[in-house]
Amino acid sequence: MKRKLSLLAAPYAVWLFLLVVIPILIMAVYAFTTSDSAATLENFMDMGIYASVFVRSFRLAAIATLICLLIGYPAAYFMAGEGPGFQRVALALIMLPMWMNFLLRTYSWMAILENNGLLNQLFQKIGLFSFLSGITGEEAQAFQMLRTPGAVTLGMVYNYLPFMILPIYSVILKLDSQLLEAARDLGANSVQVFWRVILPLSLPGVLSGVTMVFVPSVSTFAISRLLGGGTQMMLGDLIEQQFLGGAYNPHLGAAISMVMMVIVVLCMALMNHFGEGEEQAVML
């Protein structure tokens, strides 16, 4: 019976090979060849000039991840402390935006952040600009918010915050309350309980949250295109440019993808090294 059951894994193994392993291998082949299919390392040699794009992507993604963590952890922590009815509703409310495509949500921010957008209108109404020009003497009618790094970061935080809250929440929820009682019993006050027991034990959730925010952030191109207006070129834009954008060069695109993949995997491996066991950190 056992043996028969494991046959079920065979088609999936084939599938994985075809649609996961081979595509990545093909990508690797592209990365190491030129358009006349000659082997080359040129694609990687050229990468130096994109260093600043790498730096910007990783910097913005790291900032966004940090902000998500700073907002998401307390939110998840407090949520887990509420009653079951509250939790159920809160959980549903956090999941709900994900059923609208993230482009819709990002697009909505465009209307808010425009120079003539809602936020600037609001500032105008409350007289912020006249107040400011009174102080600085300079006349300002709007803050340039769209097409700035801040807007891109905001877009990332907005879109990926639920991915930070959910895993942390589910890990905190599963904490054995006896552990907390034991810690109290051993003389820890509530701050100490948090720092010495809850935080270390919720680390797997934090790690998986960080992964789930950082990886899509570092590689996004839709958010940077919409909110960054082409001025904040990120790795995702760079790659997209090589495949479907103005600068057609899939070999270079594959090379950049490979480098990004390797860096991301290294980052994740490093992190998991510190907090082993991402296994239990599933979203739900």
H helices of 126-202, in order, are: 128-136, 149-174, 177-185, 190-193, 199-201
Nearer Cβ to another protein (186/247): 247
Q: Does 241 bind another protein (CB under 8 A)?
A: yes
Q: Does 240 bind another protein (CB under 8 A)?
A: yes
Q: Does 64 bind another protein (CB under 8 A)?
A: no
CB 162 within 8 A of CB 213: no
Judged by CB under 8 A, the residue of 62, 67, 95, 180 near another protein is 95
Joined together, the tokens standing for residue 136 give 């600085």
Cβ at position 130, least distance to another protein in Å: 19
Nearer Cβ to another protein (118/126): 118
CB 97 within 8 A of CB 105: yes
CB 241 within 8 A of CB 247: yes
Q: Does 195 bind another protein (CB under 8 A)?
A: no
Q: From 21-29, 126-134, 178-186, 197-205, give the range in contact with another protein by CB under 8 A.
A: 21-29
Q: Does 168 bind another protein (CB under 8 A)?
A: no
Give the Cα separation of 6 and 138 in Å (integer). Answer: 73
Judged by CB under 8 A, the residue of 23, 127, 200, 277 near another protein is 23
Q: Does 192 bind another protein (CB under 8 A)?
A: no
Q: Is the Cα dihedral 182, 186, 190, 192 positive or negative?
A: negative
Q: Is 100 exposed, middle or buried (0-12, 13-18, 19+ CB in 10 A)?
A: exposed
Nearer Cβ to another protein (104/135): 104
Q: Does 275 bind another protein (CB under 8 A)?
A: no
For residue 228, count other CB atoms closer than 10 A to its CB. Answer: 25
Judged by CB under 8 A, the residue of 47, 66, 67, 102 near another protein is 102
Of residues 122-151, those binding another protein (CB under 8 A): 144, 146-147
Give the Cα separation of 43 and 36 in Å (integer). Answer: 13
Judged by CB under 8 A, the residue of 69, 161, 207, 210 near another protein is 161
